[in-house]
Chains A and B, each alone.
Chain A
Amino acid sequence: MPGKHDCGVDAAAYVLGALEPDEAEAFSRHLTTCVVCRDEVAAFQHTANALAMTPPQHAAPRGLKRRVMRAVRESDAADQAQGASARRPRRVGSGLFVPRPAVAALGAFAVVVVIGAIIVGSNGSSGTRTIAAAVTGTPGTAQLSVSGGHGQLVLRNFPQPAAGHIYEMWELRSGAKAPAPTGTLFSVNSSGAGNVGVPGGLHGVSKVLVTQEPVGGSLTPTSTPVIVASLD
């Protein structure tokens, strides 16, 4: 049953990344309300992190650094050639704003029950409108502020992402079946607030979505969106 857990059973498997995706998602939600499991995850997480150092330690092979730095330069050059914006990290507002490049085609995306967002405010003089986004499976509120074809997602009273996870922003373009990554990964501050820009313009975008993803982000959503802001 979603949200029901036998506390203490899943925490170790969770920090080892050994839960099935739907179980991990359910457990992440459970963590927002269960201090016992949160504490256990925090305690196990340190041990799980330490496992990374248990293999025999060796120097990286000669030539690997050269390969990596060449790839870094090529990556930057490709970004410049594409005229991409927001390819480099930057920090905006009170949230921990972490853009990453939008890459790769997307696969199938689980159907999401979208509660229609509603326009809750409009400033006629500035052309700014505020859209209340649907928030699912987590406390907090989210609004999308739209001005001049650009969007700013404003979060309040949101929980930190689960251990080992981060929030990732997606956009669903009109007519598209699957959302595309915006290249934005972020967290919220200790007060649960975040202020995160939507990279690029909103032209042709019908929905802005946020999911929790493993640290490092995902190329396709792996969990049900916690935020859906509909521009239709």
Chain B
Amino acid sequence: MQLVRAGDARAFEIVFDRHSGAAFSLAYRMCGRQAMAEDVVQEAFVSMWRSGARYDATRGSVRTWVLSVVRNRTIDAFRRESAKGSRDVSEEGIAERMPAPELTDAEVERRDEARQVRKALVELPPDQRQVIELAYFGGFTHSQIADMLELPSGTVKGRMRLGLTKMRLALGDSPEVMV
């Protein structure tokens, strides 16, 4: 990242190669449209290039930083396009349409770890998983979710807290290493 900070485009290409798959996968999960996901990822990486020093190693891995920028950019795109109605796509549908990447050992390890996180999410009670997914992947606020589900906001926030607590316990103390 020091090289990226110094404006080394080759170093930036390496960052892209390492994290573009995860970045695109997150954007695609949130957008549900390949073209929009590509636009968001492009916008995110260009913004990271122009502000590489924003990365602070004490706050997490490069991947965590990349994915947080991608998520923020995706939510910005939602707000611009008001595309909330067409975002959900099934995981199966994505898998059918998307090419399979060539997996490195590191990528295989990441996927194993990601599988654990996914398992922890899937094993949540449906009402807790639903509010977490709507907030994290949908970019909705607790008030919007409360309106959608016809629940009090306090209930929505309570379910978020219960769900995250269960996931944290299921994953142990250091899920950070996964991303």
Contact = CB atoms under 8 A, between A and B. Distances in A.
Contact of A59 (B56, B99, B142): B99
B54 A9 contact: no
A50 B176 contact: yes
B77 interface: no
Interface stretch (A88-96, A114-122, A149-157, A200-208): A88-96
Interface in A156-195: 164, 166, 185, 187
Contacts of B91: 55-56
Nearest to A87: B50
A141 to B, nearest CB: 23
Contact of B136 (A10, A16, A96, A101): A16
Interface residues of B, number: 84
A164 B68 contact: yes
Contacts of B50: 75, 87-89, 100-101
B51 A64 contact: no
Interface in B1-18: 5, 7, 9, 12-13, 16-17
A214 interface: yes
B114 interface: yes
A47 B34 CA distance: 26
B28 A47 contact: no
A181 to B, nearest CB: 12
A214 B72 contact: yes
Interface of B is mostly: helix
A69 B154 CA distance: 45
Given A12-B160, A65-B16, A52 B51 contact: no
B13 A57 contact: no
17 contacts: A12-B163, A13-B160, A17-B75, A17-B139, A49-B64, A49-B175, A50-B179, A53-B26, A53-B67, A57-B111, A60-B23, A61-B34, A65-B13, A69-B16, A73-B9, A216-B47, A216-B69
Interface of B: 5, 7, 9, 12-13, 16-17, 20-26, 28-29, 34, 38, 41-42, 45-47, 49-54, 56, 60, 64-65, 67-73, 75, 91, 94-95, 98-102, 107, 110-111, 113-114, 117-118, 121, 132, 135-137, 139-143, 145, 154, 156-158, 160-161, 163-165, 167-168, 171, 174-176, 178-179
Given A56-B94, A90-B53, A98-B53, 11 more contacts: A9-B154, A13-B135, A16-B164, A17-B75, A19-B142, A20-B142, A49-B67, A52-B67, A59-B20, A90-B5, A100-B51
